[in-house]
Amino acid sequence: MNRIRIIRDVKLGVKSLMLHKLRSLLTMLGVVFGVGSVVAMLSIGEGASRQALAEIRKLGANNILINAMKPEDDSRPGRSGRTVMSVYGLLYTDEQRLKESFPSITSTAPAKILRREARLGEHTTEVRIVGTTPEWFSLVQRPLIAGRYLNALDQQTSANVCVLAELVARKLLAGHHTIGQNVRIGGDYFTVVGIIRNETASSGGVQTPDQPVDAYIPLATGRALFGDINTQRKTGQFIRERVELHQIIAQVDKIENVQATATAVKAMLERFHKQEDYKLAIPLALLRQAEETQRIFSIVLGSIAGISLLVGGIGIMNIMLASVTERTREIGIRRAIGAQRKQIILQFLIETMVLSIAGGLVGLGLGLLIPLAITYFASMPTVVTAWSLILSLSISAFVGIVFGLYPAYRAAMLDPIVALRHE
C-alpha cells in the first residue's frame, strides 16, 4: 500500500514538472552535466592511475634497482688528444655483499652494459649488451617468444650465447630461422638461444631494466670478452671508463621490507663507495607516490566536477523556489483541505528528487559516453568504476534533498490564509 502511495506521489510530481517541460528540462541539465562530468572525470583519473600503476609494476614492486651513475665532478672533458679515464660504478663485491649480508634480499641480478653493433649477414643494428646472470630473468619477468633464457651452465662455461629482445631479433633475423643463428656482436660471435618480449616503460624518471635493443649474454662471457674497461672514441679524444657493473637488481622477500632494505643498502653503499656513483630507485616508493598523486588528482578532478553538480543543485533550488511562489495558491488549497506541513514538504521534495535523480540518470549515461569518446579520440585510457556511478548517483539524490528542502520548507511554512488569498 505504501509503495502504491509513493508511486502515486512520484507520478503527481512528474505531472507537475511536465507542466513546464522546457523549464524542468533546463533545470535538469545542471545535474546532467554535473553527474556526467563527475563520472567522466573519475574515469579519466582512474584510467591514468591504472596506467601509471601498471607501468610501475613492470619495474617490479618487490625490487630495488641500483644504477651506476657517473659522478658529476669526474665528467669534465679531457684535453684534445689526451685520454681521460674515469672509474666509477657498482662493483662485483657490491653484489656479493647484497646477496650475503641482507637476509631480506632473496635474489640479485647484476648487469654489465655495453653498446655494440650486432650483425647477421647484411643486417646490422646497434644493441645494448647486458651481461648478466640467469637470475635476471626471474627478477625481470618477460615472456619467451622462442628458445630459452640464459642458464647456470652458460654462466659456468662462459658460453658465447645470447638472448635477444624481440626488436633486435626482428632486425637481424628477419626471414631467418631464429634460434641457433650465430650473431656477431662487437668482435665476437654469439649463438642465439632465446628471444624475449620486452615490456619497457618509464615512470617517475625510472626506466624498466630492460630495453627493446637488448642482447643478454652471460656475465662471465661479458667479463672475459670485453673486460671492465670500456673505451669510446669521440672526436679527437678517447673516453675510457672502468665500470664493473652498471646495474644491480635486488629482490626483497616481502613488500613491507622494501623500504627498510633500501635504506640499509644505501647505508652499505655509502660506506664502501668514496663517491656517490650509484643511485637507488625503488619502484614501490614510486608506486606509493604515484598512488598518492593519482588520489589527489582524482580528488581535484572530482571536486571540480562536484562544483558543477553544486551549480546544478542551486539551479534546482532556484526553480523550485519560483515554483513554490507560483503555486502558493495550490499550497493554500491543500493546507485548507487538511494537508499537514510535512505532506507539503514531501510533495515538493519529491519533485526536486524526481528532477535530480532523472538528471542523475541521464548524466550517468553521459558520463559513460564521454570516457568512451575520450578513449577513442585521444587514446587516453579511461576506467568507469562501479563506485563512481554509485557515488555520483547518490550525490545527485543528495543534491535533490539538500536543495529541495529549503523551497519545500518555505512552501510548508506559508500561512494558509495568506496563501489562499495569493493571486
Partner 1 sequence: MIQTVLQSSSHDHADSDAAPEAVIQLQQVHKRYPMGRECVHALRGVDLEFNRGSFWAIMGASGSGKSTMLNLLGCLDRPSEGRLLIEGRDTAKLNDNELSDLRLRRLGFIFQSFNLIPQLTVRENIEMPLYYLGWEPADSAVRAGELAAMVDLGNRLDHRPAELSGGQQQRVAIARSLANDPAIILADEPTGNLDTATGEAIMDMLKNLHAQGRTIIMVTHEPDIAEHASHRLHMRDGEVDRIEC
Residues in contact with partner 1 by CB under 8 A are: 1, 4-5, 8, 15-16, 19, 329-330, 332-341, 343, 416-417, 420
Strands (E) across 8-143 are located at: 63-68, 83-87, 105-120, 123-132
Smallest distance from the beta carbon of 417 to partner 1, in angstroms? 5
Nearest of 303, 300, 294 to residue 34 by alpha carbon: 303
Smallest distance from the beta carbon of 5 to partner 1, in angstroms? 8
Nearer to partner 1, 58 or 335 (CB): 335
Terminal CA-to-CA distance of the chain, rounded, Å? 37
Q: Which three cell numbers stand for residue 197?
A: 618480449
50 and 384 in contact (C-beta within 8 Å)? no
Q: Is 246 helix (H, G, I), strand (E, B) or coil?
A: coil
d(CA 166, CA 189): 19
Smallest distance from the beta carbon of 334 to partner 1, in angstroms? 7
Nearer to partner 1, 299 or 336 (CB): 336
Smallest distance from the beta carbon of 11 to partner 1, in angstroms? 10
Nearer to partner 1, 27 or 247 (CB): 27
d(CA 74, CA 422): 90
Bridge partners of residue 218, in order along the sequence: 132
CA distances from 208 to 128, 282, 295 (A): 14, 11, 24
DSSP state of 90: B
Nearer to partner 1, 15 or 70 (CB): 15
Nearer to partner 1, 226 or 348 (CB): 348
Nearer to partner 1, 91 or 414 (CB): 414
d(CA 374, CA 288): 27
Per residue, what are the HEC states of 32-60? HHHHHHHHHHHHHHHHHHHHHHHHHHHHC
Contacts of 390 (CB under 8 A, 6+ apart): none
Nearer to partner 1, 142 or 410 (CB): 410
DSSP state of 256: G
Nearer to partner 1, 25 or 333 (CB): 333
CA distances from 131 to 7, 154, 180 (A): 74, 12, 19
- Tell me the Cα Rg of the chain: 34
Nearer to partner 1, 175 or 338 (CB): 338
Map grid coordinates 633475423 to a residue.
173
Nearer to partner 1, 323 or 382 (CB): 323
Smallest distance from the beta carbon of 315 to partner 1, in angstroms? 22
Give, to the nearest 10 degrees, the angle between helix 2-18 and helix 341-378.
70
**β 161-165/83-87 pair status:** unpaired
Q: Which three cell numbers stand for residue 423?
A: 493571486
Smallest distance from the beta carbon of 349 to partner 1, in angstroms? 16
Smallest distance from the beta carbon of 15 to partner 1, in angstroms? 6
Smallest distance from the beta carbon of 299 to partner 1, in angstroms? 44
d(CA 157, CA 155): 6
Smallest distance from the beta carbon of 340 to partner 1, in angstroms? 5
Smallest distance from the beta carbon of 24 to partner 1, in angstroms? 13
